[in-house]
Structure 1
Amino acid sequence: MTARPETLAPAAPRAARSRPALAAAAVVVVIAGLAVRLAFDGAWTGPVGDALYAVLVFLGVAFLLPRRSPWVVGALALAVCVAIELFQLTGLPVAWAEAFPPARLVFGTTFTAADLGLYAVGVAAATAADALASRARHGSGLARGPAGS
């Protein structure tokens, strides 16, 4: 059975994320990432830094596309992370890092397949947090059913 067109309500416009809040979160993530890399020593610091890098990419995409769903932002953020990791296979990031060392923080220098999984973990965590925040912004608490009932 199909619904009659006049009974379908138009979708409410998606509330935009707060760009100042996204920028503040990005600053916190950068500080956390630098702190992990500079203040601690251990095998865990690299993976944590990679996951935080993916969270930062997520925040950047969300900043650019504040009205997109968390899932779209997450998919785009993961695509950016994968593209940057694959870009390392070209050797250009190494040359850029030699010419301008801070470029290493943005582009990395060495392709590592394990980083792809860490990026997925970081993006998944950011996407889940954003989805929960989106529910809170829209006032559609967790008590609602799967079909919005």
Structure 2
Amino acid sequence: MTGDGRPAAGSRTAPRTRAVAAGAAVLTVLAGLAVRACTDGDFAKYAGDALYAVLICALAAVIAPGARPAVTAGAGLAFSWVVELLQLTGVPAELSRHSAVARLVLGSTFNAPDLFWYAVGAGFAWAVTALAASASRRDKAR
């Protein structure tokens, strides 16, 4: 355990943190599928953008279970923004024409409001992770 309550990368709590983050990733995918199945229009699109960023943040926590919530949220936001900005090049659109997976991961068309919704998703992921870490530290202090 690090001094601020985060699990050290090699600690026994790292597998638990990874498992929780992986579970959060699965729940995020299910939430995204539910939003797409039950809604449409702008709500579905922008909720999907926010959930994409949440998913990337959860995957960052799987990869680096000892990272601070701000670091995993920042990594998720940065990745999401890079993918969105990459769409300005046309490369994702070309890859998306040939692969459904590329379309899901990279999208195809740049849309400036997506940048905001990625920030909303990363902010949400940060808040949930920070609250969970704070609760964990309080429980351990008892």
Q: Same fold (TM over 0.5)?
A: yes
Point out the structure with max Rg over C-alpha. 1
Deviation, structure 1 residue 139 = 1.8
1 CA distance for matches of 2:4 and 2:27?
32
Question: CA separation in 2, counterparts of 1:14 and 1:46?
Answer: 34
Partner of 1:102: 101
Question: Partners of 1:136 and 1:13 in 2: how far apart?
Answer: 10
Residue correspondence of structure 1 range 64-75 to structure 2 within 5 A: 64-75=63-74
Q: Which residue of 1 aligns with 2:49?
A: 50
Separation in 1 of the partners of 2:79 and 2:38?
Answer: 28
36-45 vs 26-35, which moves further: 36-45
The corresponding residue for 1:121 is 120
Partners of 1:12 and 1:101 lie apart in 2 by 41
Moved runs in structure 1, 4+ residues, more than 4 A? none
Whether the aligned pair in 1 keeps the contact of 2:60 and 2:72 (CA below 8 Å) is yes
- Return the structure number with greater helix share: 2
> Structure 1 28/12 Cα, relative in aligned 2: closer, same or farther at 3 Å?
closer
C-alpha distance 103-138 of structure 1, shift in aligned 2 (>3 A): same
Structure 1 Cα separation of the partners of residues 22 and 75 of structure 2: 18
Q: 1:70 to 1:35 in 2, by over 3 A?
A: same
The residue that corresponds to 2:22 in the other structure is 23
One-letter amino acid matched to 1:121: V
2:77 is matched with 78
Assess if the C-alpha contact under 8 Å between 2:5 and 2:133 holds in 1.
no
Amino acid at match of 2:97: E
The offset of 1:72, in angstroms, is 1.2
Q: Work out the number of aligned pairs and report it.
A: 132
**Structure 2: how far apart are the matches of 1:12 and 1:130?**
14
Letter in 2 for 1:14: R
Match of 1:14 among 6, 15, 33: 6
Distance 2:77 2:119 in 1: 6
Measure, in 2, the Cα distance between the counterparts of 1:60 and 1:131: 16
| Percentage of matched positions with identical amino acids | 44
Question: Counterparts of 1:137 and 1:41 in 2: how far apart (Å)?
Answer: 37
Cα distance in 2, alignment partners of residues 24 and 14 from structure 1: 18
Deviation, structure 1 residue 13: 6.3
- Other-structure match for 1:146: none
User: Aligned-pair RMSD on alpha carbons?
Assistant: 1.9
Taking the aligned partners of 2:19 and 2:139, their CA distance within structure 1 comes to: 23
Report the Cα distance in structure 1 between the residues aligned to 2:124 and 2:5, rounded to whole angstroms: 25
